[in-house]
Amino acid sequence: MCSSKRVFQLLLGLSCGLWVGIIAMANSQTAPSPSLAAAPASDGAIFYQSMCSQCHGSRGEGNEMVKAPSIAGRPAWYVERQLENFRHGRRGMKSQDIQGSLMASIAKVLLPEQMTAVAEVVAKMPFVSPAQSLALKDPDVEEGRFIFMDRCAQCHRFNGTGEMTFGSPPLIGLQDWYLLAQIGKFKSGWRGVDPADPNGTKMQQSSGYIESEQAKHDVVAFIMSLNPRPNGESTADVLFSEKEMQAAK
């Protein structure tokens, strides 16, 4: 039987090998393969399965091993805008941002009409409620609720479902490790600093209000509580009900 150390080494090797393979594939493609080039631009399913499913999964469920988030059910307008940001160098241009650099390489392969088709396919995928991971460290959900309502709800709405008018995507459906990473990227200037990306700039400024690592974990824990549970209710619904009951006493 393999030791835990051996298993870890095997998983690490597989992860590194997968990254090397995916990046090499993306960097080697300056144009779609003949089979993709022959596909109708409107057939987003073909482009998704060929260019996106290796990382994001066939159902858009994401893959923590390669740090690819769930994208199932993301609004088409948001997916297309992010692909355009990657394509035009407004996102994923920092060498430290490995995942962003990979996405930039892939976006450059797709034509605008193909990006539109892919975005429509993603938007039609059934919502995937994210599983809990070990990313969050002793979060205070109630403190996270305070931060979220004070700094995030105006654009992302009180239930984290987003608002197209403000260019704010849904936050529900995203994994905790991804949310932590994106807040970190905004705070460090890896994302949201290009003047041509006003919504990213707004997030880059807003991330400054999340002043500590603890606060980051707190607010992400609250966002995770907004995800629907099997009975259709969210943990946040329970939290609000409990506070209302306490206030009524």
| Residues 191/91, Cβ–Cβ less than 8 Å | yes
Output the pTM of the full model. 0.80
Structure tokens at 10: 């095997």
- pLDDT interval class at 248 (50, 70, 90): very low
Place of tokens 């946040």: 236
What tens digit of pLDDT does each residue of 177-226 get?
A: 999 999 999 999 999 999 999 999 999 999 999 999 999 999 999 999 99
**Which of these ranges, 15-29, 118-132, 161-175, 186-200, has the smallest mean pLDDT?**
15-29
Cβ neighbours around 38 below 10 Å, total: 9
Query: Would you state the CATH architecture of domain 131-249?
Result: Orthogonal Bundle (1.10)
As a whole number of angstroms, the distance between CA 166 and CA 156 comes to 8
Query: Would you state the CATH architecture of domain 16-128?
Result: Orthogonal Bundle (1.10)
Would you say how long the chain is, in residues? 249
Cβ neighbours around 81 below 10 Å, total: 20
| Residues 151/249, Cβ–Cβ less than 8 Å | no
Query: Looking at residue 39, what is its pLDDT?
Result: 61
Q: Is the pLDDT of residue 241 over 50?
A: no
What tens digit of pLDDT does each residue of 23-67 get?
A: 444 444 445 555 565 566 668 899 999 999 999 999 999 999 999
| Residues 178/195, Cβ–Cβ less than 8 Å | no
Query: Looking at residue 19, what is its pLDDT?
Result: 45
What residue spans in the chain does CATH classification 1.10.760.10 cover?
16-128, 131-249
Structure tokens at 18: 């997968």
Query: Looking at residue 132, what is its pLDDT?
Result: 84
Torsion, Cα 109 101 11 62, to 10 degrees, reads: -70
What are the CA-CA distances from residue 63 to residues 59, 84, 102, 130, 163 (Å)? 11, 22, 15, 11, 26
What tens digit of pLDDT does each residue of 55-99 get?
A: 999 999 999 999 999 999 999 999 999 999 999 999 999 999 999
As a whole number of angstroms, the distance between CA 145 and CA 117 comes to 36
Query: Looking at residue 112, what is its pLDDT?
Result: 93
